[in-house]
Structure 1
Amino acid sequence: MVLNDVGDTSLLLGSQDVPPVREYNAEGRSPFLLTCDHYGRLIPRVLGDLGLPESELVRHIAWDIGIAGVAEMLSKHLGAHLIAQRYSRLVIDCNRPPDVASSIPLISETTTIPGNEGIAREAAELRRTQIFDPYHRRIGAIIDARRERKMPTILISLHSFTPVYAGIARPWHIGTLYQRDKLLPPLLLQLLRAESDLVVGDNEPYAVSDQTDYTIPVHAEARGLMNTGIEIRQDLISDQAGEKAWADRLARILGEVETIFRSRQVI
Protein backbone atom coordinates (compact mmCIF):
# COMPACT_ATOMS: atom_id res chain seq x y z
CA MET A 1 0.00 0.00 0.00
CA VAL A 2 0.95 3.65 -0.35
CA LEU A 3 0.67 6.22 2.39
CA ASN A 4 -2.82 7.64 1.89
CA ASP A 5 -2.07 11.15 3.06
CA VAL A 6 1.30 12.26 1.74
CA GLY A 7 1.07 15.26 4.03
CA ASP A 8 1.01 13.10 7.18
CA THR A 9 4.34 13.73 8.89
CA SER A 10 3.52 12.14 12.23
CA LEU A 11 5.75 9.14 11.55
CA LEU A 12 8.24 7.93 8.99
CA LEU A 13 10.58 5.43 10.65
CA GLY A 14 8.67 3.46 13.26
CA SER A 15 9.73 0.84 15.76
CA GLN A 16 9.70 -1.86 13.08
CA ASP A 17 11.94 0.13 10.72
CA VAL A 18 15.72 -0.21 10.94
CA PRO A 19 18.02 2.82 11.30
CA PRO A 20 19.21 4.25 7.97
CA VAL A 21 22.93 3.87 8.69
CA ARG A 22 24.78 0.57 8.64
CA GLU A 23 28.50 0.35 9.39
CA TYR A 24 31.17 -2.27 8.91
CA ASN A 25 34.70 -2.47 10.27
CA ALA A 26 34.37 0.72 12.32
CA GLU A 27 37.78 0.09 13.91
CA GLY A 28 39.49 -0.31 10.55
CA ARG A 29 42.79 1.51 10.21
CA SER A 30 42.91 1.79 6.43
CA PRO A 31 43.27 5.30 4.96
CA PHE A 32 40.31 4.43 2.73
CA LEU A 33 36.88 5.41 4.03
CA LEU A 34 34.14 3.66 2.04
CA THR A 35 30.65 5.05 1.56
CA CYS A 36 27.66 3.41 -0.11
CA ASP A 37 24.78 5.82 -0.72
CA HIS A 38 22.55 3.34 -2.55
CA TYR A 39 23.40 0.20 -0.55
CA GLY A 40 19.82 -0.78 0.31
CA ARG A 41 16.30 -0.75 -1.08
CA LEU A 42 14.21 -0.63 2.09
CA ILE A 43 11.08 1.51 2.21
CA PRO A 44 9.63 2.76 5.52
CA ARG A 45 6.57 0.69 6.40
CA VAL A 46 4.32 3.74 6.46
CA LEU A 47 5.11 4.40 2.77
CA GLY A 48 4.15 0.88 1.71
CA ASP A 49 5.52 0.12 -1.74
CA LEU A 50 5.37 3.71 -3.07
CA GLY A 51 2.71 2.43 -5.45
CA LEU A 52 5.16 0.22 -7.34
CA PRO A 53 5.14 -3.53 -8.05
CA GLU A 54 7.95 -5.65 -6.65
CA SER A 55 9.37 -6.00 -10.17
CA GLU A 56 10.23 -2.27 -10.10
CA LEU A 57 11.54 -2.29 -6.53
CA VAL A 58 14.27 -4.82 -7.37
CA ARG A 59 15.48 -2.84 -10.42
CA HIS A 60 18.35 -0.38 -10.55
CA ILE A 61 15.93 2.51 -10.06
CA ALA A 62 15.54 1.49 -6.40
CA TRP A 63 19.17 0.76 -5.43
CA ASP A 64 22.65 0.01 -6.74
CA ILE A 65 22.41 -3.69 -7.51
CA GLY A 66 25.38 -5.75 -6.31
CA ILE A 67 27.31 -2.95 -4.64
CA ALA A 68 26.36 -3.98 -1.09
CA GLY A 69 28.20 -7.28 -1.39
CA VAL A 70 31.21 -5.66 -3.05
CA ALA A 71 31.36 -2.94 -0.40
CA GLU A 72 31.18 -5.35 2.53
CA MET A 73 33.90 -7.65 1.16
CA LEU A 74 36.09 -4.72 0.15
CA SER A 75 35.77 -3.28 3.66
CA LYS A 76 36.99 -6.60 5.07
CA HIS A 77 39.86 -6.96 2.58
CA LEU A 78 41.19 -3.44 3.15
CA GLY A 79 40.46 -3.15 6.85
CA ALA A 80 38.44 -0.07 5.88
CA HIS A 81 35.50 1.56 7.61
CA LEU A 82 32.31 1.35 5.51
CA ILE A 83 29.27 3.58 6.05
CA ALA A 84 26.20 2.43 4.12
CA GLN A 85 22.65 3.73 3.72
CA ARG A 86 19.86 1.16 3.89
CA TYR A 87 16.83 2.92 2.35
CA SER A 88 15.85 3.05 -1.31
CA ARG A 89 16.92 6.00 -3.40
CA LEU A 90 13.24 6.23 -4.39
CA VAL A 91 12.40 7.34 -0.83
CA ILE A 92 15.18 9.93 -0.86
CA ASP A 93 18.40 9.85 -2.84
CA CYS A 94 21.29 10.21 -0.41
CA ASN A 95 23.67 11.26 -3.18
CA ARG A 96 21.63 14.24 -4.34
CA PRO A 97 21.42 17.73 -2.85
CA PRO A 98 18.08 17.74 -1.00
CA ASP A 99 16.85 20.80 -2.88
CA VAL A 100 17.04 19.28 -6.38
CA ALA A 101 14.11 17.57 -8.09
CA SER A 102 15.86 14.19 -8.26
CA SER A 103 16.21 14.07 -4.47
CA ILE A 104 12.72 12.52 -4.20
CA PRO A 105 12.10 11.47 -7.80
CA LEU A 106 8.72 11.60 -9.50
CA ILE A 107 10.13 9.57 -12.41
CA SER A 108 13.15 7.27 -12.43
CA GLU A 109 14.34 6.28 -15.90
CA THR A 110 10.84 5.80 -17.41
CA THR A 111 9.03 4.67 -14.24
CA THR A 112 6.61 7.03 -12.47
CA ILE A 113 6.76 6.82 -8.67
CA PRO A 114 3.14 7.22 -7.46
CA GLY A 115 4.11 7.47 -3.79
CA ASN A 116 6.19 10.57 -4.51
CA GLU A 117 3.50 12.47 -6.40
CA GLY A 118 2.07 15.45 -4.58
CA ILE A 119 4.31 14.98 -1.56
CA ALA A 120 3.92 17.81 0.94
CA ARG A 121 6.90 19.90 1.95
CA GLU A 122 6.66 18.61 5.52
CA ALA A 123 6.65 14.99 4.38
CA ALA A 124 9.68 15.58 2.16
CA GLU A 125 11.47 17.25 5.05
CA LEU A 126 10.74 14.23 7.24
CA ARG A 127 12.44 11.95 4.73
CA ARG A 128 15.45 14.22 4.88
CA THR A 129 15.63 14.51 8.66
CA GLN A 130 15.11 10.79 9.35
CA ILE A 131 17.09 9.18 6.51
CA PHE A 132 19.33 11.62 4.64
CA ASP A 133 20.60 13.71 7.56
CA PRO A 134 21.57 10.84 9.93
CA TYR A 135 23.59 9.19 7.17
CA HIS A 136 25.50 12.31 6.25
CA ARG A 137 25.96 13.40 9.86
CA ARG A 138 27.58 10.05 10.53
CA ILE A 139 29.96 10.36 7.59
CA GLY A 140 30.93 13.85 8.72
CA ALA A 141 31.44 12.75 12.31
CA ILE A 142 33.66 9.85 11.25
CA ILE A 143 35.83 12.09 9.08
CA ASP A 144 36.16 14.62 11.90
CA ALA A 145 37.10 11.88 14.38
CA ARG A 146 39.72 10.50 11.98
CA ARG A 147 41.18 13.97 11.57
CA GLU A 148 41.41 14.39 15.35
CA ARG A 149 43.30 11.08 15.52
CA LYS A 150 45.51 12.26 12.65
CA MET A 151 44.39 9.37 10.45
CA PRO A 152 44.68 9.99 6.70
CA THR A 153 41.34 9.72 4.90
CA ILE A 154 40.73 8.91 1.25
CA LEU A 155 37.02 8.79 0.50
CA ILE A 156 35.81 6.10 -1.91
CA SER A 157 32.14 6.38 -2.87
CA LEU A 158 30.94 3.00 -4.17
CA HIS A 159 28.15 2.66 -6.73
CA SER A 160 26.94 0.42 -9.53
CA PHE A 161 25.25 1.22 -12.84
CA THR A 162 22.77 -0.52 -15.09
CA PRO A 163 24.26 -1.98 -18.31
CA VAL A 164 21.45 -0.47 -20.37
CA TYR A 165 19.83 2.88 -19.60
CA ALA A 166 16.91 4.27 -21.60
CA GLY A 167 17.68 1.72 -24.30
CA ILE A 168 21.35 2.68 -24.63
CA ALA A 169 24.00 0.05 -23.84
CA ARG A 170 26.97 1.07 -21.72
CA PRO A 171 30.28 -0.58 -22.66
CA TRP A 172 32.30 0.20 -19.52
CA HIS A 173 33.00 -2.46 -16.92
CA ILE A 174 33.97 0.14 -14.35
CA GLY A 175 34.20 3.90 -14.19
CA THR A 176 35.96 6.41 -11.97
CA LEU A 177 34.00 9.53 -11.07
CA TYR A 178 35.58 12.74 -9.87
CA GLN A 179 35.48 16.52 -10.06
CA ARG A 180 38.27 18.43 -8.26
CA ASP A 181 40.72 15.78 -7.02
CA LYS A 182 43.83 15.72 -9.22
CA LEU A 183 45.74 13.00 -7.35
CA LEU A 184 43.70 9.85 -6.88
CA PRO A 185 41.57 9.64 -10.07
CA PRO A 186 44.49 9.74 -12.56
CA LEU A 187 46.37 7.06 -10.63
CA LEU A 188 43.30 4.88 -10.27
CA LEU A 189 42.55 5.22 -13.97
CA GLN A 190 46.11 4.22 -14.81
CA LEU A 191 45.96 1.12 -12.64
CA LEU A 192 42.52 0.09 -13.88
CA ARG A 193 43.56 0.53 -17.52
CA ALA A 194 46.56 -1.69 -16.88
CA GLU A 195 44.04 -4.52 -16.39
CA SER A 196 43.91 -5.93 -19.91
CA ASP A 197 40.35 -7.26 -19.64
CA LEU A 198 38.64 -4.02 -18.59
CA VAL A 199 36.89 -1.24 -20.45
CA VAL A 200 37.35 1.70 -18.07
CA GLY A 201 35.28 4.87 -18.04
CA ASP A 202 36.85 8.24 -17.25
CA ASN A 203 33.95 10.08 -15.60
CA GLU A 204 31.67 7.55 -17.25
CA PRO A 205 28.83 6.69 -17.12
CA TYR A 206 28.50 9.75 -14.87
CA ALA A 207 30.62 12.68 -13.79
CA VAL A 208 30.63 14.23 -10.33
CA SER A 209 29.20 17.74 -9.96
CA ASP A 210 27.85 19.93 -7.18
CA GLN A 211 24.40 19.78 -8.79
CA THR A 212 24.12 16.01 -9.23
CA ASP A 213 26.14 14.65 -6.29
CA TYR A 214 26.37 15.17 -2.56
CA THR A 215 28.74 12.75 -0.83
CA ILE A 216 31.93 13.63 -2.71
CA PRO A 217 31.42 17.43 -2.95
CA VAL A 218 30.27 17.86 0.65
CA HIS A 219 32.36 15.34 2.57
CA ALA A 220 35.54 15.05 0.50
CA GLU A 221 36.03 18.12 -1.66
CA ALA A 222 34.87 20.61 0.97
CA ARG A 223 37.46 19.12 3.37
CA GLY A 224 40.25 18.79 0.82
CA LEU A 225 40.27 15.00 0.98
CA MET A 226 41.43 12.79 -1.86
CA ASN A 227 38.44 11.01 -3.30
CA THR A 228 36.84 9.14 -6.15
CA GLY A 229 33.56 7.57 -7.04
CA ILE A 230 33.68 4.01 -8.35
CA GLU A 231 30.89 2.66 -10.57
CA ILE A 232 30.76 -1.05 -11.45
CA ARG A 233 28.40 -2.40 -14.11
CA GLN A 234 25.62 -4.32 -12.46
CA ASP A 235 25.61 -7.40 -14.64
CA LEU A 236 29.18 -8.06 -13.48
CA ILE A 237 28.18 -8.10 -9.79
CA SER A 238 24.72 -9.67 -10.02
CA ASP A 239 25.73 -12.73 -8.00
CA GLN A 240 28.04 -13.53 -5.10
CA ALA A 241 30.82 -14.78 -7.36
CA GLY A 242 30.84 -11.50 -9.27
CA GLU A 243 30.77 -9.47 -6.07
CA LYS A 244 33.72 -11.40 -4.69
CA ALA A 245 35.73 -11.13 -7.90
CA TRP A 246 35.31 -7.36 -8.00
CA ALA A 247 35.97 -6.91 -4.29
CA ASP A 248 39.18 -8.93 -4.68
CA ARG A 249 40.25 -6.90 -7.71
CA LEU A 250 39.51 -3.54 -6.13
CA ALA A 251 41.28 -4.54 -2.91
CA ARG A 252 44.39 -5.39 -4.91
CA ILE A 253 44.28 -2.16 -6.94
CA LEU A 254 43.52 0.09 -3.99
CA GLY A 255 46.33 -1.65 -2.12
CA GLU A 256 48.63 -0.55 -4.95
CA VAL A 257 47.26 2.98 -4.64
CA GLU A 258 48.05 3.03 -0.93
CA THR A 259 51.58 1.71 -1.49
CA ILE A 260 52.28 4.35 -4.15
CA PHE A 261 50.87 7.18 -2.07
CA ARG A 262 52.89 6.12 0.98
CA SER A 263 56.07 5.97 -1.13
CA ARG A 264 55.34 9.50 -2.33
CA GLN A 265 54.53 10.55 1.26
CA VAL A 266 51.10 11.72 0.12
CA ILE A 267 49.54 9.89 3.08
Structure 2
Amino acid sequence: MLNVEIFPKTPFTESQDGTLDFGTVVHTENADGAPSVLLVCEHASKRIPDFLGDMGLTAEVRESHIAWDPGALGVAQHMAALMSAPLVHGGVSRLIYDCNRPPEAPDAMPVKSEAYDIPANISMSPEEREARIEHVYGPFSDAVSGQIAQHRSSLVLMVTMHSFTRIYHDQQREVELGILHGRDDRFALAMMDAAPADSPFVIRLNEPYSATDGVAHTLDVQAYANALPNVMIEVCNDLIRTSDQQRAMAEYLVAWIDRTLAGFQNRGAA
Protein backbone atom coordinates (compact mmCIF):
# COMPACT_ATOMS: atom_id res chain seq x y z
CA MET A 1 0.00 0.00 0.00
CA LEU A 2 1.25 3.48 -0.83
CA ASN A 3 2.19 5.47 2.27
CA VAL A 4 1.22 9.11 1.95
CA GLU A 5 2.72 10.05 5.32
CA ILE A 6 6.34 9.73 4.25
CA PHE A 7 6.39 13.09 2.46
CA PRO A 8 6.33 16.10 4.78
CA LYS A 9 4.83 18.80 2.59
CA THR A 10 6.94 21.91 2.41
CA PRO A 11 5.10 25.25 2.56
CA PHE A 12 3.95 26.40 -0.86
CA THR A 13 6.01 29.21 -2.38
CA GLU A 14 3.49 31.54 -3.98
CA SER A 15 4.04 34.22 -6.57
CA GLN A 16 2.64 37.72 -6.20
CA ASP A 17 -0.71 36.75 -7.70
CA GLY A 18 -1.12 33.93 -5.17
CA THR A 19 -0.44 31.03 -7.53
CA LEU A 20 2.13 28.32 -6.90
CA ASP A 21 5.54 29.35 -8.19
CA PHE A 22 6.60 26.79 -10.80
CA GLY A 23 9.32 28.99 -12.28
CA THR A 24 9.97 28.80 -16.03
CA VAL A 25 8.05 25.77 -17.25
CA VAL A 26 8.78 26.02 -20.97
CA HIS A 27 11.59 27.37 -23.12
CA THR A 28 11.28 28.37 -26.76
CA GLU A 29 14.34 28.74 -28.93
CA ASN A 30 13.15 30.57 -32.03
CA ALA A 31 14.49 30.18 -35.53
CA ASP A 32 15.00 32.89 -38.12
CA GLY A 33 13.37 32.76 -41.50
CA ALA A 34 10.91 30.10 -42.57
CA PRO A 35 11.80 26.84 -40.79
CA SER A 36 10.67 23.54 -42.26
CA VAL A 37 11.01 21.48 -39.06
CA LEU A 38 9.74 22.09 -35.52
CA LEU A 39 11.56 20.30 -32.69
CA VAL A 40 9.96 19.50 -29.34
CA CYS A 41 11.59 18.01 -26.23
CA GLU A 42 8.98 17.45 -23.54
CA HIS A 43 11.24 15.80 -20.96
CA ALA A 44 14.24 18.11 -21.23
CA SER A 45 14.51 19.14 -17.57
CA LYS A 46 14.87 17.49 -14.17
CA ARG A 47 14.13 20.75 -12.30
CA ILE A 48 11.74 20.56 -9.35
CA PRO A 49 10.05 23.81 -8.23
CA ASP A 50 11.17 24.98 -4.80
CA PHE A 51 7.77 24.55 -3.18
CA LEU A 52 7.99 20.78 -3.74
CA GLY A 53 11.36 20.38 -2.05
CA ASP A 54 12.81 16.98 -2.95
CA MET A 55 9.36 15.42 -3.56
CA GLY A 56 10.30 12.79 -0.97
CA LEU A 57 12.91 11.34 -3.35
CA THR A 58 16.64 10.78 -3.00
CA ALA A 59 19.08 12.83 -5.05
CA GLU A 60 19.93 9.71 -7.08
CA VAL A 61 16.31 9.19 -8.07
CA ARG A 62 15.81 12.86 -8.91
CA GLU A 63 18.80 12.64 -11.27
CA SER A 64 17.63 9.41 -12.91
CA HIS A 65 15.67 8.86 -16.10
CA ILE A 66 12.35 8.69 -14.26
CA ALA A 67 12.67 12.46 -13.71
CA TRP A 68 13.72 13.45 -17.25
CA ASP A 69 15.24 12.26 -20.54
CA PRO A 70 19.01 12.56 -20.05
CA GLY A 71 20.81 13.77 -23.15
CA ALA A 72 17.68 14.45 -25.18
CA LEU A 73 17.85 18.24 -24.90
CA GLY A 74 21.49 18.35 -26.00
CA VAL A 75 20.67 16.30 -29.09
CA ALA A 76 17.63 18.46 -29.85
CA GLN A 77 19.61 21.69 -29.51
CA HIS A 78 22.31 20.48 -31.87
CA MET A 79 19.62 19.36 -34.32
CA ALA A 80 17.92 22.75 -34.07
CA ALA A 81 21.18 24.48 -34.92
CA LEU A 82 21.86 22.19 -37.87
CA MET A 83 18.33 22.56 -39.30
CA SER A 84 17.70 26.21 -38.32
CA ALA A 85 14.63 24.87 -36.54
CA PRO A 86 12.66 26.30 -33.63
CA LEU A 87 12.79 24.19 -30.47
CA VAL A 88 10.27 24.01 -27.63
CA HIS A 89 11.47 22.24 -24.49
CA GLY A 90 10.15 21.64 -21.01
CA GLY A 91 11.44 23.50 -17.96
CA VAL A 92 10.37 21.18 -15.14
CA SER A 93 10.69 17.48 -14.37
CA ARG A 94 8.15 15.14 -15.88
CA LEU A 95 7.46 14.02 -12.32
CA ILE A 96 5.77 17.40 -11.84
CA TYR A 97 3.80 17.08 -15.06
CA ASP A 98 4.57 14.93 -18.09
CA CYS A 99 3.87 17.31 -20.96
CA ASN A 100 3.49 14.37 -23.35
CA ARG A 101 0.35 13.27 -21.48
CA PRO A 102 -3.16 14.73 -21.33
CA PRO A 103 -4.44 15.87 -17.93
CA GLU A 104 -6.72 12.86 -17.55
CA ALA A 105 -3.87 10.34 -17.98
CA PRO A 106 -2.82 8.64 -14.70
CA ASP A 107 0.86 9.05 -15.60
CA ALA A 108 0.57 12.77 -16.32
CA MET A 109 1.45 13.26 -12.63
CA PRO A 110 2.56 9.76 -11.64
CA VAL A 111 2.21 8.40 -8.12
CA LYS A 112 4.66 5.64 -9.08
CA SER A 113 7.36 5.47 -11.74
CA GLU A 114 8.96 2.10 -12.35
CA ALA A 115 9.86 0.86 -8.85
CA TYR A 116 9.64 4.27 -7.16
CA ASP A 117 6.71 5.75 -5.29
CA ILE A 118 6.49 9.53 -5.81
CA PRO A 119 5.44 10.78 -2.35
CA ALA A 120 4.73 14.38 -3.40
CA ASN A 121 2.32 13.15 -6.05
CA ILE A 122 0.66 10.66 -3.71
CA SER A 123 -0.14 13.45 -1.28
CA MET A 124 -1.05 16.02 -3.95
CA SER A 125 -4.28 17.90 -3.33
CA PRO A 126 -6.92 18.40 -6.05
CA GLU A 127 -6.06 22.11 -6.05
CA GLU A 128 -2.38 21.44 -6.65
CA ARG A 129 -3.24 18.98 -9.41
CA GLU A 130 -5.27 21.66 -11.17
CA ALA A 131 -2.44 24.15 -10.64
CA ARG A 132 0.03 21.84 -12.33
CA ILE A 133 -2.27 21.41 -15.31
CA GLU A 134 -2.83 25.16 -15.58
CA HIS A 135 0.71 26.35 -14.96
CA VAL A 136 2.80 23.57 -16.56
CA TYR A 137 0.82 21.67 -19.19
CA GLY A 138 -1.09 24.74 -20.38
CA PRO A 139 1.92 26.97 -21.12
CA PHE A 140 3.86 24.11 -22.71
CA SER A 141 0.97 23.18 -24.97
CA ASP A 142 0.45 26.83 -25.89
CA ALA A 143 4.14 27.24 -26.76
CA VAL A 144 4.06 24.31 -29.18
CA SER A 145 0.79 25.35 -30.81
CA GLY A 146 2.10 28.90 -31.03
CA GLN A 147 5.14 27.78 -33.01
CA ILE A 148 2.96 25.74 -35.36
CA ALA A 149 0.69 28.72 -35.94
CA GLN A 150 3.61 31.11 -36.44
CA HIS A 151 5.43 28.92 -38.97
CA ARG A 152 2.57 26.92 -40.47
CA SER A 153 3.22 28.16 -44.01
CA SER A 154 6.76 26.73 -44.00
CA LEU A 155 6.63 23.75 -41.62
CA VAL A 156 6.61 20.30 -43.18
CA LEU A 157 7.50 18.19 -40.13
CA MET A 158 7.42 18.07 -36.33
CA VAL A 159 9.97 15.91 -34.49
CA THR A 160 9.78 15.14 -30.78
CA MET A 161 13.04 14.04 -29.14
CA HIS A 162 13.29 11.60 -26.24
CA SER A 163 15.78 9.26 -24.59
CA PHE A 164 15.31 5.95 -22.80
CA THR A 165 17.28 3.76 -20.45
CA ARG A 166 19.09 0.60 -21.54
CA ILE A 167 17.78 -1.38 -18.56
CA TYR A 168 14.05 -1.25 -17.79
CA HIS A 169 12.46 -3.33 -15.02
CA ASP A 170 15.70 -5.36 -14.88
CA GLN A 171 15.45 -6.24 -18.57
CA GLN A 172 18.01 -5.14 -21.16
CA ARG A 173 16.65 -3.54 -24.30
CA GLU A 174 18.22 -4.34 -27.65
CA VAL A 175 16.86 -1.29 -29.45
CA GLU A 176 19.12 1.78 -29.54
CA LEU A 177 17.14 4.12 -31.80
CA GLY A 178 13.36 3.98 -31.80
CA ILE A 179 11.18 5.54 -34.50
CA LEU A 180 7.65 6.03 -33.16
CA HIS A 181 4.37 7.30 -34.53
CA GLY A 182 0.88 8.10 -33.37
CA ARG A 183 -2.15 8.42 -35.62
CA ASP A 184 -0.02 9.53 -38.57
CA ASP A 185 2.51 6.82 -39.41
CA ARG A 186 3.70 8.23 -42.73
CA PHE A 187 6.98 9.85 -41.75
CA ALA A 188 7.96 7.13 -39.28
CA LEU A 189 7.54 4.49 -41.98
CA ALA A 190 9.42 6.67 -44.45
CA MET A 191 12.30 7.00 -41.98
CA MET A 192 12.44 3.24 -41.55
CA ASP A 193 12.57 2.84 -45.33
CA ALA A 194 15.39 5.38 -45.49
CA ALA A 195 17.36 3.96 -42.54
CA PRO A 196 21.07 3.57 -43.32
CA ALA A 197 21.82 -0.02 -44.28
CA ASP A 198 25.17 0.16 -42.49
CA SER A 199 23.85 1.82 -39.32
CA PRO A 200 25.94 1.17 -36.20
CA PHE A 201 22.72 1.28 -34.16
CA VAL A 202 19.91 -1.18 -33.61
CA ILE A 203 16.89 0.64 -35.06
CA ARG A 204 13.32 -0.48 -34.42
CA LEU A 205 9.86 0.85 -35.26
CA ASN A 206 7.65 1.61 -32.23
CA GLU A 207 10.21 0.43 -29.70
CA PRO A 208 10.84 0.73 -26.82
CA TYR A 209 7.37 2.34 -26.72
CA SER A 210 4.39 2.74 -29.02
CA ALA A 211 1.20 4.78 -29.16
CA THR A 212 -0.53 2.11 -27.07
CA ASP A 213 1.78 3.15 -24.19
CA GLY A 214 0.29 6.65 -24.32
CA VAL A 215 3.39 8.34 -25.75
CA ALA A 216 1.83 9.93 -28.85
CA HIS A 217 -0.05 12.78 -27.18
CA THR A 218 2.07 15.65 -28.53
CA LEU A 219 2.24 14.07 -31.98
CA ASP A 220 -1.51 13.61 -32.21
CA VAL A 221 -2.80 16.74 -30.47
CA GLN A 222 -0.30 19.20 -31.89
CA ALA A 223 0.90 17.85 -35.25
CA TYR A 224 -1.77 15.44 -36.49
CA ALA A 225 -4.53 17.89 -35.53
CA ASN A 226 -2.81 20.48 -37.76
CA ALA A 227 -2.16 18.08 -40.66
CA LEU A 228 1.57 18.32 -39.96
CA PRO A 229 3.62 15.15 -40.60
CA ASN A 230 5.39 14.03 -37.45
CA VAL A 231 7.63 11.50 -35.76
CA MET A 232 9.00 10.73 -32.31
CA ILE A 233 12.64 9.69 -31.99
CA GLU A 234 13.85 7.75 -28.95
CA VAL A 235 17.61 7.41 -28.31
CA CYS A 236 19.19 5.09 -25.75
CA ASN A 237 20.60 7.51 -23.19
CA ASP A 238 23.94 5.73 -22.80
CA LEU A 239 24.70 6.81 -26.39
CA ILE A 240 24.28 10.53 -25.65
CA ARG A 241 25.94 11.14 -22.28
CA THR A 242 28.46 13.72 -23.45
CA SER A 243 28.17 16.83 -25.58
CA ASP A 244 30.32 15.21 -28.27
CA GLN A 245 28.02 12.17 -28.34
CA GLN A 246 24.97 14.43 -28.50
CA ARG A 247 26.44 16.40 -31.38
CA ALA A 248 27.36 13.23 -33.27
CA MET A 249 23.88 11.78 -32.75
CA ALA A 250 22.30 15.02 -33.92
CA GLU A 251 24.37 14.96 -37.10
CA TYR A 252 23.38 11.34 -37.72
CA LEU A 253 19.68 12.03 -37.17
CA VAL A 254 19.59 15.24 -39.20
CA ALA A 255 21.20 13.54 -42.21
CA TRP A 256 18.65 10.73 -41.90
CA ILE A 257 15.71 13.14 -41.55
CA ASP A 258 16.89 15.27 -44.49
CA ARG A 259 17.22 12.17 -46.67
CA THR A 260 13.78 11.00 -45.62
CA LEU A 261 12.20 14.41 -46.18
CA ALA A 262 13.55 14.58 -49.72
CA GLY A 263 11.92 11.30 -50.67
CA PHE A 264 8.78 12.05 -48.66
CA GLN A 265 8.16 15.37 -50.40
CA ASN A 266 9.04 13.99 -53.83
CA ARG A 267 6.27 11.42 -53.38
CA GLY A 268 3.88 14.20 -52.48
CA ALA A 269 3.16 12.58 -49.09
CA ALA A 270 3.53 15.85 -47.21
Q: In the TM superposition, what whole-angstrom CA distance separates every residue of 1:46-68 from its partner, at most 9, and x where no partner exists?
A: 11111111111110000001001
Q: In the TM superposition, what whole-angstrom CA distance separates every residue of 1:189-211 from its partner, at most 9, and x where no partner exists?
A: 12225243221111000012494
Aligned residue for 1:102? 107
Aligned residue for 2:247? 244
- Uncovered stretches (5+) of structure 1, i.e. residues with no partner: none
For the structure 1 residues 211 and 266, does the alpha-carbon distance in structure 2 shift closer, same or farther, using more than 3 Å as the test? closer
> Is the CA contact 1:36–1:85 (under 8 Å) kept in the aligned structure 2?
yes
Identity %: 31
Distance across 1 between alignment mates of 2:33 and 2:230? 18
Give 1:11 shift: 3.5
Distance across 2 between alignment mates of 1:243 and 1:51? 31
Tell me which moved more, 189-198 or 30-39.
Answer: 189-198
TM-score (normalizing by structure 1): 0.91
Aligned residue for 2:158? 155
Is 1:255 the counterpart of 2:255 in the alignment? no
**5 Å matches for 1:68-87?**
68-87=73-92
Distance across 1 between alignment mates of 2:81 and 2:160? 16
TM-score (normalizing by structure 2): 0.90
**5 Å matches for 1:133-144?**
133-144=138-149
Is 1:88 the counterpart of 2:93 in the alignment? yes
**Paired positions, count:** 261
Is 1:13 the counterpart of 2:21 in the alignment? yes
Give 1:265 shift: 4.3
Q: In the TM superposition, what whole-angstrom CA distance separates every residue of 1:97-139 from its partner, at most 9, and x where no partner exists?
A: 1111111111111011111112111101101111111010111
- Uncovered stretches (5+) of structure 2, i.e. residues with no partner: 1-6
The one-letter code of the counterpart of 2:231 is T
> Is the CA contact 1:193–1:200 (under 8 Å) kept in the aligned structure 2?
no
Distance across 2 between alignment mates of 1:80 and 1:212? 23
Is 1:167 the counterpart of 2:170 in the alignment? yes
Aligned residue for 2:62? 57
For the structure 1 residues 213 and 67, does the alpha-carbon distance in structure 2 shift closer, same or farther, using more than 3 Å as the test? same
Equivalent of residue 125 in structure 1, options 108, 111, 130: 130
Distance across 2 between alignment mates of 1:242 and 1:78? 18
> Is the CA contact 2:41–2:89 (under 8 Å) kept in the aligned structure 1?
yes
> Is the CA contact 1:2–1:47 (under 8 Å) kept in the aligned structure 2?
no
Q: What is the DSSP-based 3-state SS (H/G/I as helix, E as strand, rest coil) of the residue aligned with 1:159? A: strand
Q: CA RMSD in A?
A: 2.1
Equivalent of residue 230 in structure 1, options 218, 228, 233: 233
